[in-house]
Amino acid sequence: MVAAAAREIRDGETVFVGMRLPLLAFCLAKETHAPEAIGLYENGVVRATPSPELLYTMSDPPNLLGATRCTEMLGVMGPLAAGRVDLGFLGAAQADRFGNLNSTEVRPPGGGIVRLPGSGGACDIASLARRFVVLLEHKRHRFPERVDYVTSPGFLRGGKSREEAGLVRGGPSAVITTLGVLRFDPESREAFLDSIHPGADLESLLRETGFPLRTRDPLPTTTPPSEEELAILRRYDPEGFWTGD
């Protein structure tokens, strides 16, 4: 998942890094194919170099040491609002067939409502970045036909509905899961399976998706991490805090 996320970063891009696995993905991209990428962190940190050590949160001292700029939240949200952020990484509790995300509340089958942390900056990134990528565990309850609550807009109802709602740029470009990589049809804006991870089973993947999921034909296997990528990841995460089982 980290290697696949890193490959979504293009050289020279401005990237809203986000928490958890994207912290590693940005470092990996910087050391391989995207040395000129710039990282923005929601707490106001701007980095032109990868953090020298493993990060548990974006506010850890290693992320401040050697940073290009340590500002406030407006210092990174301003460029986002101005359309100068190319890519944002997001997580969520749910993602649906049009890439809408829910991190506000879920409604379990037995009834009731479970409240979640909410948007943070996720709605801003999903609305204003030129594209965004989601990282998510592939479980059926996390991939419903329709999210219980639209915290962060994807392609809304599909087709041109995002543009008609006034969101003139952006949208999800990929959902990287524990089983594969989903992308979105350029016309219908509906998710399809673009690749399946090595060792994953297609039947199990489809069973763990709560909506009919088209697949590429033939369906490729996600390119596994190279030896160089693995060496970099093990250097940044030597005890497997993020990448261990």
Catalytic status, residue 227: no
Query: Catalytic pick from 13, 31, 42, 229?
Result: 42
Beta-carbon contacts of residue 161 (< 8 Å; ≥ 6 apart): 155, 189
**Cα separation, 3 vs 7, whole angstroms:** 6
Exposure of 93 by Cβ count < 10 A (0-12 exposed, 13-18 middle, 19+ buried)? buried
Phi and psi for 188 in degrees, rounded to 5?
A: -80, -20
Beta bridge partners of 132: 88, 172
Nearest-CA neighbor of 118 among 105, 101, 104? 104
Residues acting as catalytic residues: 42
